[in-house]
Structure 1
Amino acid sequence: MSLIEIPTRKSSGKTSTLADTERRLYDRLLAEDSTVDRAALDFLRRQLSKAAALSDDLPASAEDLLQWSETRCASVAAEYADYLEQRQQGAPRRYFRNKSHALYFILHVAPTKEVDGAWLAGLLPQWQDPRFDDLLDTYLEELGEGVPRQNHVVIYRKLLAEHDCSDLSGLADEYFLQGAVQLALGRFGGQFLPEVIGFNLGYEQLPLHLLISAYELAELGIDPHYFRLHVTIDNASTGHARKAVQSMLELMPLGEERDEFYRRMAVGYRLNDIGKGTTAVITEFDLDHEVIAMLERKAVFGRHMHSDYCRIENRTINQWLATPGQMGEFLSALERKSWIKRGEAVEESRFWRLIDGSDAAMFGVFNGYEKQLLRDWITQDCPASRPRPYVRREAAVEENFDDDADLLNLEAALADKPAAEQMALLMPWLQPQRHWRPAGLFATRRFIQLRARLR
């Protein structure tokens, strides 16, 4: 097969079933479902078809890519300097109105962040080909080179856990689209090499929103490490942005296929614009809507859990929760009865005292993100309730996973095997669904060691 030939699907003669939703496909790809290939390939082709209809800002010639990347990076730096000047002059935050807004963003982009680098996973078998070095180095750096505190997925999962917002079950399908694209690219990297290179080229360019997000998250008391890490490693001088261009130039064919390769690369680049992007997620947030929607979801589980002792405006809590669509009016009733005192510290609201604290009657009913929504909605950003800026803490002592079952099994499988056989056994553990686990982190470190030795 030619380097740039897109494989065509042969008809099985059977009627195809309905396509997976983005969420289901995402989950199947992460679950190592052996039957997912057909659905994933169809999905990827559909997204590439959509991307082909989009425009882009790429130069006409591959030889101009390096200058394009450097110019783009300089432009972002200038825009960020202007942003900082505006903030110093008293301008408000551009992205996040309050902490719950920031947590909404962190939660809703999690399906993408939790597969960081996945589009490059399919290139691991090319570890002996020096033309792939920049791409593989990029992927291994996304994996933190096997060091837990540097593995991007580990970092992001810890961020979610720290703010008690790890539950992605309530997210709509659209938030899984971009992650599914990245997983599908990684699964078929060998067949869609130009598209993988193009996607990588786009993803690794430093965007303005990354710089602003990191700055404003820190202001709101949220650890910006994940975002700042990408600011440093995605630079156009020596980082992933430059490596993305170099790998493109290294892997382009020298003959008549060169133009077609570049065309397909550009389509892969445009895949970055498929699905809901960072700024779209940020701008869609509406605090009133999110509070009511959250309570509506809770009502389904709580409508039979309350006694009839307490009544709000002659209705029991169970009656308020019984019919969908009543949570907005329920909140208004709580305000009228002074159970909620908006514009004041949350401790002044009786409702808050029922949900916050280990002795609260409804302790554990609301997770950290849900409580932050309620806190910001109640206080209306009163000065006493504003979060303190993030202060970096000393690095925690890393856990010891020596007794992890997967790790022990992998070590046993590698024992006494020649180095080349070990590489084959290690590569499955460097895949998106595994690399952040103890065995995957170990496998990443061993892969790097053996790769250097065998080259």
Structure 2
Amino acid sequence: MASTATNFISLTAHAQNEAAHASASVLYRALSVPKPSRKAREDGTRYLQAQLAQARDLPCDMPASPDDLHAWVNERVTHVGEQYAAYLAARKDGAPRRYFATRSHALNFIRAVAPTKLVDGSWLYGTLRYWENPDFHPLILTYLEELGDGDPAMNHVTLYKKLLATHDCDDWQTLSDEHFVQGAIQLALGYQTERFLPEVIGYNLGYEQLPLHLLISAYELNELGIDPYYFTLHVTIDNAATGHAHKAAQAVADIVAQQDDPAGFYRRVRDGYRLNDLGMSTTSVIADFDPERALVAVLQEKTAVGRNMHSDYCRFAGKTVNEWLDNPEDAGRFLSELERAGWIRRGSDPEESRFWRLINGAGAEMFGVFSPREQQLLHDWITRADGNNRGMTFRAAARVRATREAVIGRTGMHLVGADNTTSNDPAALITALSPGAHHSAQGLQATRKFSAVLRG
């Protein structure tokens, strides 16, 4: 294979700066449809160029030679395993949860990372066109496994959609632009693989390494009664022995060896690896959560609808509820006034707070105004819950309910219909396996056919 280095299109400094500040969320939406427009794909090229220009200044811990990749992967896994063992030991000795102080904190995390999780594996979509080259099979098999090989119960997007819907977290579209950066990068890589092949395999290498935060997140979600399966699944399939981490390292070594300029190609692989460090990381999303700030934001969202819906019977600090809700910027002060007036009793059972009784339970005067997720946020804020509180884990609750949850029960989906796609030719099926289409009925059928041919 000839070197792809010459396919890299340079941008002027002005164009790079302009593209770097382009809206990640707008690009994300344009590329996450089943068949993105040519303009959207070209916008993705410019966006990638700009992100790469930023990423090149970041540190890179990849080995200098692809020959050392497998040893590097194994060393990382060993280090993460040691860190996780230390975490578990600390928890056993009474340490609080490290990531999620409350259930509402965990739900905020699930919602905040949705833009990335809902395009899981998309950066590898463009490798499908190389299906006849065995050196690309590790990458293609990784993509197919992200798609659950066409089984909706194992397709990562359907799994995460189910998780979002179960916990009322599927209003993620209003998140800030920074939350969409990683998803936009992944989609752009998937649609520009021919131009950015080194960056694609470098990004894949970084993304498929087992991070400590994945292990801890899964442990603490389970502890808070939230199904951790989506996360534990990634712990197992990304393993360094036979899983995606191993496949990623093997693909880099094999594809670099084919190049006319292996050293130049590998430099670009390292640039693609650095792309993983842009945008909001998992740990930054977790650290960014502030319960009171989040609660005020919820109240501000309610003002547009609620500011003319209240009587003048109750006044707080001389103002009616409608007057308080007239200006969203007053939401924080209004919350303080509710507490000062005794309508909210912090540090107590929420049932002792009049405001809580107004929104929660059958017959509540404001029933339905706050979603279950928003109620959880208010509940945790009132009780001042912290990382020491422990209840029944998700798995323990499942055992108590005597439900042996088969994987099909996690998604509520079955294999859909007969395979009635028009062709068994992998080249003809690729469009149906796009990031915006693979989780549809037709996409799932096409994935099963493509997987059968490739593995056959």
Does TM, normalized by the shorter one, top 0.5?
Answer: yes
Counterparts of 1:134 and 1:254 in 2: how far apart (Å)? 15
Q: Cα distance 1:61–1:277, how it changes in 2: closer, same or farther (>3 A)?
A: same
- Amino acid corresponding to residue 441 of structure 2 in structure 1: P
What's the counterpart of residue 31 of structure 2?
A: 29
Other structure's SS at 2:173 match: coil
1:138 corresponds to which of 137, 142, 147: 142
Which residue is 1:434 aligned to?
A: 437
In structure 1, give the amino acid aligned to 2:356: W
Partner of 1:148: helix, strand, or coil?
coil
Match of 2:453 in 1: 450
What's 2:261 paired with? Answer: 257
Partner of 1:4: 5
Secondary structure, counterpart of 2:172 in structure 1: coil
Q: Deviations over 1:277-324 (max 9, x none)?
A: 011111111111111122112212221222323333432211010123
Bigger relative contact order (CA 8 A; separation at least 6):
2
Q: CA deviation at 1:75?
A: 0.5
2:294 to 278, 290, 293: 290
Percent sequence identity is 49
What is the deviation of 1:450? 2.9
Looking at structure 2, the residues matched to 289 and 120 of structure 1 have their Cα atoms a distance apart, in angstroms, of 37
Counterparts of 1:219 and 1:383 in 2: how far apart (Å)? Answer: 11
SS in 2 for 1:153: helix
| C-alpha contact 1:199 1:271 (8 A) present in aligned 2 | yes
Whole-Å Cα distance in 2 between the matches of residues 162 and 382 of structure 1?
23
Instruction: State the TM-score, normalized to the length of structure 1.
Output: 0.91
1:38 aligns with 2:42: yes
Q: Structure 1 stretch 365-374 or stretch 259-268: which is displaced more?
A: 365-374
Q: 1: CA distance between counterparts of 2:91 and 2:18?
A: 53
2:225 alignment partner, one of 194, 197, 221: 221
Quick one: which amino acid aligns to residue 340 of structure 2? R
- Whether the aligned pair in 1 keeps the contact of 2:164 and 2:170 (CA below 8 Å) is yes
Output the CA distance in 2 between the equivalents of 1:148 and 1:260.
40
Q: Does 1:147 align with 2:151?
A: yes
Preserved contact between residue 153 and residue 414 of structure 2 (Cα < 8 Å)? no
Aligned amino acid, residue 163 of structure 1: H
What code does the residue aligned with 2:5 have?
Answer: I
1:155: how far off? 1.0
Alpha-carbon separation, structure 1, partners of 2:127 and 2:315: 62
Alignment equivalent of 1:60, drawn from 58, 64, 84: 64
Q: Does 1:388 align with 2:392?
A: yes
State how far apart, in whole Å, the 1-side matches of 2:392 and 2:334 are. 31
Give me the whole-angstrom Cα distance separating, in 2, the residues matched to 1:318 and 1:169: 28
- In the TM superposition, residue 52 of structure 1 has moved relative to its aligned partner by 1.1
Between the aligned partners of 1:217 and 1:344, the Cα distance in structure 2 is 24
Q: How does 1:29-428 map to 2 (within 5 A)?
A: 29-31=31-33, 32-34=35-37, 35-254=39-258, 256-381=260-385, 387-391=391-395, 392=398, 393=403, 394-395=405-406, 397=409, 398-399=412-413, 402=416, 411=420, 414=422, 417=423, 419-420=424-425, 423-428=426-431
Q: Is the 8 A contact 1:253 1:261 kept in 2?
A: no
Go from structure 1 to structure 2 and tell me whether the alpha carbon gap of 1:183 and 1:333 turns closer, same or farther (over 3 Å shift).
Answer: same
Q: 1:387 to 1:349 in 2, by over 3 A?
A: farther
Q: Which runs of 5+ in 1 are unaligned?
A: none
Equivalent pair of 1:165/1:368 in contact (CA under 8 Å)? no
1:206 to 1:424, Cα distance in 2 relative to 1, 3 A = same
Counterpart-to-counterpart distance in 1, 2:18 and 2:85? 52
Q: Return the alpha-carbon distance in structure 1 between the equivalents of residues 247 and 386 of structure 2.
A: 47
Q: Are the structure 2 counterparts of residues 299 and 216 from structure 1 closer, same or farther at C-alpha, using a change threshold of 3 Å?
A: same
For the 8 Å contact 2:63–2:72, the answer to whether it is kept is: yes
| C-alpha contact (below 8 Å) 1:340/1:349 kept by paired residues | yes
Superposition deviation, residue 399 in structure 1: 3.6
Distance 1:291 1:369 in 2: 11
CA separation of 1:154/1:335 partners in 2, compared to 1, >3 Å: closer, same or farther? same
3-state DSSP class of the match of 1:54? Answer: coil
Q: 1:117: Cα distance to partner?
A: 0.3
CA contact (8 A) 1:308 1:317 kept: yes
Distance 1:56 1:450 in 2: 37
Separation of aligned partners in 1, 2:416 and 2:237: 30
1:205–1:241 CA contact under 8 A, matched in 2: yes
Q: Cα RMSD (Å) of the superposition? A: 2.4
C-alpha separation in 1, matches of 2:62 and 2:18: 38
Q: How many Å separate the matches in 2 of 1:352 and 1:311?
A: 18
Distance 1:382 1:267 in 2: 40
Q: How many angstroms apart in 1 are the aligned matches of 2:222 and 2:53?
A: 39
CA displacement at 1:260 relative to structure 2: 0.5
Residues 70-109 of structure 1: CA deviation (Å, up to 9, x unaligned): 0010000001001111111111111111111111111111
Question: What secondary structure, in the 3-state scheme, does the structure 1 residue paired with 2:168 have?
Answer: coil
**How many residue pairs were aligned?**
439
Give me the TM-score of the superposition, normalised by structure 2.
0.90
Q: By how many angstroms is 1:190 displaced?
A: 1.8
Larger displacement relative to structure 2 (146-155 or 303-312): 303-312
Counterpart CA distance in 1 for 2:11 and 2:230 is: 43
Superposed CA offset, 1:130-181 (max 9, x none): 1111001100011111111211111111111111111013210000001000
